[in-house]
Amino acid sequence: MIQQITKGIKISVETKFEGSFLKDQVPHYAFMYFITIENQSKDVVQLLSRHWKILESVSRPQYINGNGVVGKKPIIKPGESHTYQSGSLITSPLGSMTGTYIMINFSTAKKFNVDVPSFKLSVPYILN
C-alpha cells in the first residue's frame, strides 16, 4: 500500500492486476485501484475534482481530468474517510499513475490540492 498525507488528508492506494487481452493486435492490461481518502484535519472537506497522469513504458502520458471520483463528490468530516475503486487500461505491462484531488475546506471556503502518491501498474509476471 502506498500512502501520503497532504494538508491533513491521507491518501492510501492499493492496486490489483485484473488481466490482459488483445484488441486490434495491441495488448491491453487492466488494473483496478482502491483509494481511501482519510480526513485527519480538523475541518470538513469535499473532493471537487481529480487530475490524473498515467505513464506507460511504451506510449505517451495520458492526462485525465474530471469532476469528483466515480460520479461522487464526497464530503469527508474530520476522522472519517471515503473509499472507492476504479480502474485503468494501459497498453504496456509497466506503468504508473499519479494525481491531484482538488478539495474545498468548508471552514475557510478555500480550495486546496491534495497529492495522490505515484503508484505502479505492473503485471506481476513481468518482473520475474
Closest CA to 9 of 120, 100, 95: 100
Answer whether residue 87 shows pLDDT above 70: yes
The domain locations on the chain are 2-127
pLDDT tens-digit series, residues 23-64: 888 899 999 999 999 999 999 999 999 999 999 988 889 999
What pTM was estimated for this model as a whole? 0.92
Q: Which residues contact 25 (CB under 8 A, 6 or more apart)?
A: none
CA atoms of 89 and 102, how far apart (whole Å): 24
Q: Predicted confidence band at 66 (pLDDT cuts at 50, 70, 90)?
A: very high
Tell me the CATH number for domain 2-127.
Answer: 2.60.40.1470
Strand-pair partners of 79 = none
Whether 84 and 69 have beta carbons less than 8 Å apart is answered as: yes
| pLDDT score, position 58 | 80
Answer whether residue 127 shows pLDDT above 70: no
